[in-house]
Every structure is written in C-alpha cells, then in structure tokens.
Amino acid sequence: MRNTDNADTKAIVVNTTPHVRRYGGVSQCTLPVLAALLLAACATTSPESESALAQAQSAVNTLEADPLAAQTAGKSLQDARDALAAAIKAQQDHRPPDEVVHLAYLARRRAEIGEAIIAETRAHDQMQQAQARRDQVLMAARERDAAMARQQASSAEAQAAAAQSQAAAAQSQAAAARDQVSAANDEAAAARAQLADLQAKQTERGMVLTLGSNVLFDTGSDTLKPGADEALNRVAQFLQSQPGVKLRIEGHTDSRGSDSYNEALSQRRAQAVASALMARGVDASRLQPVGRGMEVPVATNDTAEGRQQNRRVELIFSNLQGQFAGVG
C-alpha cells in the first residue's frame, strides 16, 4: 500500500442524518466502518477525492431517502452502497486520489441509476391509473353519445310514426272522398237516367225537358189540359226522389202577337205548371217560373211547324245541389 501518511490528522465528521455535509455524510451502512476509523490518523486527501466522495455520498443519501428505493431499486441501492463503501475504504487506506475519485464516481452513478429506475417504475405504475382514468372519460363520452343517439333514434321513430299515421289518415280521407265522389257520380247518373226517361235532354243549361205548349194548354189559355197530367206526375215524382234538385220553368211563345202579350201569357203558363207541381207536393222554393215570351225561339217563326216548336214550356233541372248551369 502506498504510504502517504503524515502527522496531519483530519477529523471526520460523523453525520447520522441523511443530509449532505462537505466532508461526507454517512450512510447507514458505512456508519460502523467510519466509526471504527474515527480515531485513525488520516493522510492528506486531495480536494478532488473529497469532492468526489461528497457527491457520491449525496447521491447515495438521496437514493436511500426515496421510500420506493428498497422495493423498486433494491439491487441498485445495494450496488451503490457497496461502491460508496469501497470508495471510502480506498480513501481510508490512503489509496491514490485518482483511485478514490474513480471509485466515488462509480458509486455516484450507481445511485443515480437507482433513481432513474425508481422514476421509470413510478411512471409505469401511474400509467395504469392514467389509462383507467382515460377509459372512464372515454366510456362516459361513449355513454353520452349512445344516449344522445338513442334519444335521436326514438325521436326520429316518433316522428316517423306520426308521419305514418298522418299518411294513413290522409289515405283514408282520400278514399272516403273518392267514395263520396263516386257516390255523387252514381246519384247524378241515376238522376240523369231518370230525366232521360222523361225525355229530358242534356244541354249546356243542364237537363232540359221541353213540353210542347199544345200538349199542356189550349191556344191563348193558361189552364193546363188533362193531357199534361202524366208528364207533370212524372216530373213531380222525379223531384220528390231528388230533394236537392230545383226546377226553372220557362214559358215560350211564337212571334204572333205583341211582346207584352206573349210575355204575360208565357209567364202565366209557367206559373200554371209551377202550381200544378206544387199541388203534387213539390215545395214552391224549388220552382222558378219565368215567362220568356218570344225572346228565345228554337225554330223559325215563318213556318207553321217552326211556330209550333217555338210554342213550348221548358223545364230546366238544376244539379243535385240545386245549382243551375249558366244562364238559360
């Protein structure tokens, strides 16, 4: 062993707390070693080796103080303690400063390795919790999304159901309307058929039944002849069967005589027909007797035949709702 002893002694401060002192704090494991050498004469040590030992001691103290050191970095902790012990022993054995510095350096790094291992373990442990937290938030978000989607879905379902029942209602409405229309069409067809039976003709004014005046009246008279009965009976019967139908009764004459005479005669004749129908149970409100005089000839007044055709009574039937088509 290289002997660099001299008479100088250096007190070694014994420090039982893990706190760092310039001349080296004492870790628990090296305490007995150091205590044994307390009174030993110590050779001059170099500032470099003192400083290196101090740093090594500090690093080991830090590692010792970490509560996770024993369970997480146990091997590193032991390696660091052993390395520090070797460094301190080297110093006490008066080994060259280079050697002490080297051993102290190894001890310091060993302790720092232990710290790094603890940090890695800590991060791994926290990772599980962090992932669990993240999964919680993710699940909550997904649950919320699912709830919203369910809500939207059921709302859409409700809308669809409402729309469906609307459509069904509209469909049955349409069907009912179609039925109504076809029923009305059937009724109108039946009425027209009835009128056709009466020899009424379909014109632009509606169904028109033309009765020759000579069938109904004597010349210049407004008294109905018995020959008119059959026709009037059948018209009355028709009107009873179709309560909505109204009747316009137009009296027409030929051109012989004055306007006013013919107008008055035709009016009285129309009225006579109306009265005859009322006598057969037809309500007056449904009848519109009007005298047209010679205004609307249907044939020429220059021939006897033509004049006979012009002398007529026209029965113009409304539709089933009591409406007349255009102006006669």
Partner 1 sequence: MSMIRQAGVAAAAALLVAAVGCSSGPRPNPDLTGAHTLVSEAEQSGAQRYASLNLEAARTELKQADQDAASDKPVLATRRAQEATVDAELALARTRSAKAEQALQEVDSGTATLRSESERQSNAPPPPMPPPAASQPPQFQ
Q: Per DSSP, what are the bridge partners of residue 317? A: 207, 247
Stretch that binds partner 1, among 14-22, 162-170, 206-214, 282-290 (CB under 8 A): 162-170
Nearest in space to 211 (alpha carbons), one of 266, 260, 284: 266
Alpha helices of 198-303 — where are they, by DSSP H? Answer: 213-216, 229-241, 259-279
Angle at 136 between CA 131 and CA 139, to 5 degrees: 120
Shorter beta-carbon distance to partner 1: residue 71 or 159: 159
Instruction: Classify 288 as helix, strand or coil.
Output: strand
User: Is residue 138 a contact point for partner 1 (CB under 8 A)?
Assistant: yes
The smaller minimum CB distance to partner 1, of residues 98 and 187, is found at 98
Backbone φ and ψ for 202, nearest 5 degrees, come out as -80, 120
Residue from 68, 89, 112, 268 in contact with partner 1 (CB under 8 A): 112
| β-strand partners of 178 | none
Between residues 34 and 69, which has the closer beta carbon with respect to partner 1? 69
Q: How many CB atoms lie within 10 A of CB 227?
A: 11
**Closest CB 139 distance from partner 1, rounded Å:** 10
Nearer CB in complex with partner 1: 3/129: 129
* Dist. CA 327–CA 203, nearest whole Å: 12
Q: Which of 21, 37, 66, 109 binds partner 1 (CB under 8 A)?
A: 109
Q: Are 113 and 76 in contact (CB under 8 A)?
A: yes
Q: What are residue 251's DSSP bridge partners?
A: 291, 313
What track of x and - describes contact with partner 1 for positions 275 through 314 (by CB under 8 A)? ----------------------------------------
CA distances (Å), 146 to each of 141, 151, 248, in order? 8, 8, 74
> Closest distance between partner 1 and the C-beta of residue 194, in Å?
42
Comparison of 145 and 186: residue with beta carbon closer to partner 1: 145
Select the residue interacting with partner 1 from 124, 260, 326, 327 (CB under 8 A).
124
Cβ 140 to partner 1 shortest distance, Å? 7
Query: Could you tell me which stretch among 5-13, 18-26, 163-171, 300-308 binds partner 1 (CB under 8 A)?
Result: 163-171
Q: Is 158 in the site for partner 1 (CB under 8 A)?
A: no
User: Min. distance of Cβ 190 from partner 1 in angstroms?
Assistant: 35
Over the range 69-101, which residues count as b (16 or more CB within 10 Å of their CB) and which as e?
beebbeebbebbbebbbbbbebbbebbebebbb
Kindly tell me which residue out of 163, 184, 279, 296 binds partner 1, with binding defined by CB under 8 A.
163
Determine the longest span between alpha carbons in the chain, in angstroms: 180
Q: Please choose, out of 113-121, 187-195, 306-314, 320-328, the segment that lies near partner 1 by the rule CB under 8 A.
A: 113-121
Residue in 5, 93, 120, 179 binding partner 1, rule: CB under 8 A: 120
Integer Cα distance of 126 and 138 in angstroms: 18
Q: Do residues 307 and 194 make contact, with C-beta atoms less than 8 angstroms apart?
A: no
Nearer CB in complex with partner 1: 129/219: 129
Q: How far is the CB of 96 from partner 1 (least distance, A)?
A: 11
Query: Applying CB under 8 A, which of residues 127, 153, 177, 284 lies at the interface with partner 1?
Result: 127
Q: Does 155 bind partner 1 (CB under 8 A)?
A: yes
The angle formed by the CA atoms of residues 281, 285 and 291, to the nearest 5 degrees, is: 100
Contact indicator for 232, 209 with CB cutoff of 8 Å: no
Contact residues: partner 1, CB under 8 A: 99, 102, 105-106, 109-110, 112-113, 116-117, 119-120, 123-124, 126-127, 130-131, 133-134, 137-138, 140-141, 144, 148, 152, 155-156, 159-160, 163-164, 166-168
